[in-house]
Amino acid sequence: MSAASTQLPAQPRSVGIIGAGITGLTAAFRLKQLGIEVVVYEAERRVGGVIRSIRENGYLAEFGPNSILEISQKIVSLIRDVGLESRRLYSDAKAENRYLVRNGRPVVLPFSPLKFFGTELFSAKAKLSLLVEPFRRRAAPDVEESVADFVLRRLGREWLDYAINPLVAGIYAGDPHRLSVPQAFPRLHAVEQRYGSLILGQILGARERKRRGEVSKQEAKKISFEEGLQELTDTLGAKLADSIRLGATVVEIQHRSDGWSVKVRVGRTEATFRHRALLLAAPAYRLAQIKLCADAGLSLEPLGAIHYPPVASVVLGFRREDVAHPLDGFGMLIPQIEGFKILGALFSSSLFARRAPAGHVTLTTYIGGVRDPELALLPADELVRITVEDLRRILGVTGKPTFRHCMLYPKAIPQYELGYGRFKALMSELEAKLPGLFFAGHYRDGISLADSIISGHDVAQRISAEIGKK
């Protein structure tokens, strides 16, 4: 669609999709496989949303997600069906160590009982609290606890400060005192309700997952591609090229007796198109700006209250000899109580091949989030200075970076905070009252890249079934 376009052919039998991030692209691809025509509207001039990869001077930098967790066959089949199996990379088996920073230095997080009881990460009191955990009373099923309150009740303060706080920062860039257990970590909530214990749930749940053919996120293989994750979204975009309208901002949607009409703005031109069904797969704050013409009281505006904190990604390259730490792992998470400014770092060149030139390493760090939102908004030079200083103290980095790239996401990750259920209830209400309207994406079905791919797959099945009924 060019800026000069004044009209597009109406496609009343097609499905309109708002948003060409990974959820929208996956849904569009699956719908086309099912023989259903689609039109994807994307406000930006590129597909892929937050997924961005660049190669420069031998370095490969990822700005948004860095890998996909292979937790479902739906992910495996998508990679196969788009023809990327030969370019798929699994993370290096030698890079499985995960580090937590305590007393200013990274310590390997233990994953076996024997190593756990020998680790210096946690005190004897904290280790004992884990043994007592199966005997603690479960919460009432209708009580919504914050992650912090949940952990304090079941495990104690040290687990909150040195395990859950950095974990939440690494996943959500969030605050455990604000995130809701049933919304942000629904499986954790379900495990306590079903088994009464996290430890028993881990043991018994693993057996059930195996029977279902599922893999936990802790055990799932990490995937990328030769030239980064953008290969996946670019490939999907190429296969859907004739169905994608770039630079097309949806400003209004209207429910009709025969489906939906969509008003689209391209530059200074507006045009209206018709679709039999409509999928909203853009970020929630974008959806909130779309006027919904429907019965009184129905609106997308409340979605604008979903909290998206700013996060800055800082990717730096160094000579191998200028980093004292062996970087023999996935990366490190940093508890807030340690007083550093970065949230954590991924050892990107240890995870996947060809992320740095020979004799060099790549480190991907994140700044901001709910913990320090104002830091994310600093100029690039200041972000690099802050990052290098923290890496110097933690990993023994010396010398100047040989590569640098900063990316700010002013609205990065939706926070599934206390009371978030009202947003999901609103989406369910709108779907029930407005046939042919569907919601999917990171604001509804989980924030990880794997969650979004599964969400796109599943909503395509839902749309196909609904159309089939009609």
Residue 190: pLDDT band by 50, 70, 90 thresholds? confident
Q: What is the pLDDT of residue 423?
A: 98
Residues 422 and 302 in one domain: yes
pTM of full prediction above 0.85:
yes
379, pLDDT greater than 70: yes
- Give the model's pLDDT for residue 207: 67
Domain range for residue 204? 122-212
Beta pairing partners, 239: none
In-domain check, residue 88: yes
Read off the CATH number of the domain in which 157 is found: 1.10.3110.10
Domain assignment present for residue 103? The answer is: no
Residue 65 reports pLDDT greater than 60 = yes
Distances (CA, A) of 71 to 172, 185, 398: 19, 16, 38
Q: Give 210's pLDDT tier (boundaries 50, 70, 90).
A: low
In a domain, 40, yes or no: yes
102 occurs within a structural domain: no
- pLDDT digits over 269-292, tens only? 999 999 999 999 999 999 999 999
Other CB atoms within 10 A of residue 461 CB: 14
Looking at residue 206, its pLDDT comes to: 66
**Phi, psi angle pair for 173, to nearest 5°:** 55, 40
Are residues 361 and 387 located together in one domain of the fold?
Answer: yes
pLDDT above 70 coverage of the chain, percent: 94
Backbone torsions φ then ψ of 323, nearest 5 degrees: -125, 115
What pLDDT, in 10s, does the model give residues 130-162? Answer: 888 888 888 888 899 999 999 999 999 999 999
Long-range contact set of residues 153-161: C-beta below 8 Å, sequence gap at least 24: 154/192, 154/198, 155/126, 155/129, 155/130, 156/125, 156/126, 156/129, 158/122, 158/123, 158/125, 158/126, 158/129, 159/122, 159/126, 159/129, 159/130, 161/335, 161/336, 161/337
Same domain, 294 and 434: yes
pLDDT for 4 equals: 40
Tell me: do 285 and 155 sit in the same domain.
Answer: no
- Are 340 and 432 part of one and the same domain? no
Task: Decide if pLDDT at 5 tops 50.
Answer: no
Q: Judge if 341 and 367 occupy the same domain.
A: yes
Burial class of 68 by CB neighbour count within 10 A (0 to 12, 13 to 18, 19+):
buried
The C-alpha torsion from 221 through 52 and 375 to 288, rounded to 10°, is -100
Torsion angles phi and psi, residue 15, rounded to 5: -100, 125
Domain final residue, candidates 212, 244, 266: 212
Q: How many CB atoms lie within 10 A of CB 141?
A: 9
CATH number of the domain where residue 404 is located: 3.90.660.20
Average pLDDT over residues 412-427: 97
Confirm whether 443 is domain-assigned: yes
Q: Let me know if residue 195 belongs to a domain.
A: yes
Instruction: Please choose, from the candidates 314, 317, 311, the residue with its C-alpha nearest in 3D space to the C-alpha of residue 170.
Output: 311
- 2 lies in a domain? no
Residue 238 has pLDDT above 80, yes or no: yes
Domain shared by 293 and 420, yes or no: yes
Alpha carbons 366 and 358: distance in angstroms, whole number: 25
Residue 171 shares a structural domain with residue 137: yes
- Dihedral angle sign, alpha carbons of residues 351, 357, 361, 362: negative
Q: Are residues 376 and 254 in the same domain?
A: no
Domain boundary among 177, 212, 247: 212
Determine the pLDDT at residue 215.
66
d(CA 351, CA 66): 10
Query: Is the pLDDT confidence value at 211 over 80?
Result: no
In a domain, 106, yes or no: no
The total of structural domains in the chain comes to: 3
In this structure, are 269 and 302 located in the same domain?
A: yes
440: domain CATH number is 3.50.50.60
State residue 197's pLDDT score: 82
pLDDT at 374 over 70: yes
Mean pLDDT computed over 167-193: 93
Rounded to the nearest integer, the mean pLDDT of the chain is 92
At 36-61, the pLDDT tens digits run 999 999 999 999 999 999 999 999 99
Same domain, 197 and 176: yes
**Is pLDDT at 22 greater than 90 in this prediction?**
yes
Domain boundary (212, 241, 257) is at 212
Greatest Cα pair distance in the chain: 70
Same domain, 322 and 394: yes
Distance CA 344, CA 350 (A): 15
Cβ proximity of 4 and 207 under 8 Å:
no
